Structure 1
Amino acid sequence: MCKVLGVSTSGFYAWEKRQSKEETERDKWNRQLDDRIMFHFYDNLSAFGSPRIHERLVNRDNIKVSQKTVANRMRDLGLFATPP
């Protein structure tokens, strides 16, 4: 099968192992963080960028996260602030 796919045997088994992996703690954290980011973003009419959302996460939700992480997660989610 590996010859048909044009991949090495070890590469195939490494890929197969990654596919059957359970959700990691990092994945759970990112999912929860994404939920809170989207809540604050849409709660404020899509007008807040990463600095303001970061401030809300730190001060209101007591989540310790950097502003750059919030910006990266927002970019990955496709959330961009629009002026009112």
Structure 2
Amino acid sequence: MCKVLGVSTSGYYVWEKRQNQDETEKEKWNRQLDERIKFHFYDNLSAFGSPRIHDKLVNQDKIKVSQKTVAIRMRALFF
């Protein structure tokens, strides 16, 4: 199967092992941040950009996050 897919056997087993692992803290943080970003974005009729979403996250939700991180996460979510 690895020959057909064009991957090494060791690469396949590393990938398979990763699939069976629990969610890391970073992945959990990103998932929760994405949920809050989506909430504020759709709550405001999809009219807010990253500066306004960042402001809502910091002031309303009390989440410590940079505006650059919010912009990167929004780009991955919506574009």
Q: With structure 2 as the length reference, what TM-score do the two structures score? A: 0.86
TM-score by length of 1: 0.81
Moved beyond 2 Å, runs of 4+ = 1-9
In the other structure, the counterpart of 1:72 is 72
Number of aligned residue pairs: 79
Compared CA separation, residues 44 and 17, structure 1 to 2 (3 A): same
Gaps of 5+ in 2: none
Which of the pair has more CA radius of gyration? 1
- Looking at structure 1, the residues matched to 46 and 14 of structure 2 have their Cα atoms a distance apart, in angstroms, of 41
**Pairwise CA RMSD of aligned residues?**
1.6
**Equivalence for 1:60:** 60
**How far 1:7 sits from its partner (Å)?**
2.7
Unaligned runs of 5+ in 1: 80-84
